[in-house]
Amino acid sequence: MAKRLYVDSSAYLCVLLGESGHGAIEAEISGAELYSSVLLVLETTRNLIRLSREGVLTSAELQDALARLQTDLNGFQLRDLTLDLCTGRTMPVVSTPRSLDLAHLRTALWFHGKRPLTRFLTTDEPQRRAAGELGLPI
């Protein structure tokens, strides 16, 4: 049975940009069922453009990364950010996540409730702690 992984934007960007730790994430997502929020697209695109404007990515690297994002999206099941996710009261017990992080967490919980996830993937430590507080597998 394939692993069911929720991939947040930080984990996806780590792989896309070849950041430290990308190899382990790539190995884990290989052959897995991948889930995320449509926020992954928004946050990834925004960060790629920011990196290009800051001179970290060349124009060609930006275009390559945006093209790969479009291709990679075929491997994801994405959930829209809907009113029910926004009006829910689910909140980690201790931490208070940023708004978009909370949207990722609630989306992961929605997928997890449909059929349990194997793991919530993030490179953001506060996000990982919040996921654990909510009972998501980390």
- Provide the whole-model pTM: 0.94
Between the alpha carbon of residue 52 and those of residues 17, 62, 86, 116, the distances in Å are: 12, 6, 31, 37
**Which whole number is the average pLDDT over 94-101?**
94
Contact 70, 102 (CB under 8 A): no
pLDDT(107) > 90: yes
Q: Tell me the average pLDDT across 16-40.
A: 97
pLDDT, tens digit, for every residue of 31-58? Answer: 999 999 999 999 999 999 999 999 999 9
Residue 1 pLDDT greater than 90, yes or no: no
Q: Delineate the domains of the chain, giving CATH numbers in brackets.
A: 4-133 (3.40.50.1010)
